[in-house]
Amino acid sequence: MLTETDPRVTAYINMYSVLGTLPLLAELVPEAKSILAGVKHPTTIAFRVAGGPRESLTFTRNDVRLGSAPGASAVSLAFTSVTHFNRVIAGTAQPIPWGLPAQLRFLTAVFSPLTDLLGRYLQPTDEFLADPERRETSIILTMHVAASALAQVANEDRSGKFSAHNTPDGDVALEVTGALAYHLRMRDHHATFVATPSPSPRGVLTFSSLEVAGGILSGDLSAVVCISDGRLSMRGYIAMVDNVNRILDRVGHYLGSK
**Residues engaged in binding other proteins (CB under 8 A):** 1-3, 158-160, 162-163, 166, 170, 201-203, 222, 224-225, 227-230, 233-239, 243, 246-247, 249-250
- In the complex with other proteins, the residue whose CB is nearer, 89 or 248, is 248
- Within 8 A by CB and 6+ apart from 74, the residues are 43, 44, 46, 68, 99, 103
| CB-based contact 54:68 (threshold 8 Å) | no
Q: Measured between alpha carbons, how far is 194 from 173 in angstroms, rounded to an integer?
A: 10
- Smallest gap from Cβ 170 to other proteins, in A, equals 7
- In the complex with other proteins, the residue whose CB is nearer, 98 or 237, is 237
- In the complex with other proteins, the residue whose CB is nearer, 18 or 204, is 204
- Smallest gap from Cβ 159 to other proteins, in A, equals 5
- In the complex with other proteins, the residue whose CB is nearer, 4 or 133, is 4
If DSSP codes are grouped into helix, strand and coil, which group holds residue 42? coil
- In the complex with other proteins, the residue whose CB is nearer, 15 or 173, is 173
- Smallest gap from Cβ 149 to other proteins, in A, equals 16
- Smallest gap from Cβ 255 to other proteins, in A, equals 16
Q: Measured between alpha carbons, how far is 138 from 103 in angstroms, rounded to an integer?
A: 30
AA identity, residue 167: T
Calculate the alpha carbon distances from 109 to 20, 21, 248 in Å. Answer: 19, 19, 36
- Smallest gap from Cβ 101 to other proteins, in A, equals 49
| CB-based contact 37:134 (threshold 8 Å) | no
| CB-based contact 251:159 (threshold 8 Å) | no
Long-range CB contacts for residues 36-40, cutoff 8 Å, separation at least 24: 36/60, 36/61, 36/62, 36/63, 36/64, 36/110, 36/114, 37/61, 38/109, 38/110, 39/106, 39/110
- In the complex with other proteins, the residue whose CB is nearer, 144 or 250, is 250
- Smallest gap from Cβ 183 to other proteins, in A, equals 13
